[in-house]
Amino acid sequence: MSELSLDLPGTTKRLDVAGSTHRIVVAADPQNAAQAQPGEARSYGWRLLPWLLPVSIVLAWHVLSTTTNIFAGVLPGPLEVVDAASQLAERGELQRDIYVSIRRVAIGFSLGAATGLVLGVIVGLSSLVRGLLDRTLQMVRTIPHLALVPLMILWFGIGEEPRILLVAMGTLFPVYINTMGGIRNVDPKLIELGRSYGLNSLELVRSIILPGALQPILVGIRYALGVAWLTLVIAETIASREGIGYMVQNARELLRIDVIVLAIILYAIAGWFADLATRLVERRLLRWHPNYAKGTEP
Partner 1 sequence: MKIGATLFIRSVGKSFGTRQVLRDIDIDIPAGQFVSLIGPSGVGKSTLLRIIAGLEPLSAGAVELESVNPRPDIRMMFQEDRLLPWRSVLRNVTLGLRNGDEQARLMLSSVGLEGREDEFPIVLSGGQRQRVALARALIHEPDVLLLDEPFGALDAITRAAMQMLLESLLARRPRTVVLVTHDVEEALLLSDRVLLMRDGQIARDLTIEQDRPRHRGDPALAALKEELLDGLLAAETAH
* Closest CB to partner 1 among residues 206, 241: 206
Please state, in angstroms and rounded to a whole number, the distance separating the CA atoms of residues 85 and 93. 10
State the distance between the two ends of the chain, measured CA to CA, in whole angstroms.
40
**192 is an interface residue for partner 1 by CB under 8 A:** yes
Amino acid code (one letter) for 151: L
Residue closest to 237 by CA, chosen among 227, 220, 250, 255: 250
Report in angstroms how near the CB of residue 215 gets to partner 1 at its nearest. 10
**297 is an interface residue for partner 1 by CB under 8 A:** no
**Residue 266, CA distances (Å) to 92, 95, 97, 99 in order:** 16, 12, 11, 12
Amino acid code (one letter) for 150: P
Report in angstroms how near the CB of residue 194 gets to partner 1 at its nearest. 8
**289 is an interface residue for partner 1 by CB under 8 A:** yes
**217 is an interface residue for partner 1 by CB under 8 A:** no
**Strand-pair partners of 18:** 21
**193 is an interface residue for partner 1 by CB under 8 A:** yes
- 71 and 64 in contact (C-beta within 8 Å)? yes
User: Of 190, 239, 264, 265, which one interacts with partner 1 (CB under 8 A)?
Assistant: 190
Pick the piece of the chain touching partner 1 (CB under 8 A) from 67-75, 121-129, 173-181, 191-199.
191-199
Pick the piece of the chain touching partner 1 (CB under 8 A) from 49-57, 104-112, 132-140, 187-195.
187-195
User: Of 194, 220, 243, 245, which one interacts with partner 1 (CB under 8 A)?
Assistant: 194
Pick the piece of the chain touching partner 1 (CB under 8 A) from 64-72, 89-97, 125-133, 186-194.
186-194
Q: Is the dihedral of CA 45, 50, 55, 61 positive or negative?
A: positive
Pick the piece of the chain touching partner 1 (CB under 8 A) from 1-9, 21-29, 256-264, 287-295.
287-295
Pick the piece of the chain touching partner 1 (CB under 8 A) from 18-26, 93-101, 111-119, 281-289.
281-289
- 38 and 294 in contact (C-beta within 8 Å)? yes
Q: Where are the alpha helices (DSSP H) in 17-159?
A: 33-36, 44-67, 78-90, 93-125, 127-129, 135-141, 149-156
Report in angstroms how near the CB of residue 38 gets to partner 1 at its nearest. 14
Strands (E) across the chain are located at 2-3, 11-18, 21-28
- 278 and 218 in contact (C-beta within 8 Å)? yes
**281 is an interface residue for partner 1 by CB under 8 A:** no
* Closest CB to partner 1 among residues 43, 201: 201
Per CB under 8 A, residues contacting partner 1 are 189-190, 192-199, 203, 207-208, 211-212, 214, 286-290, 293
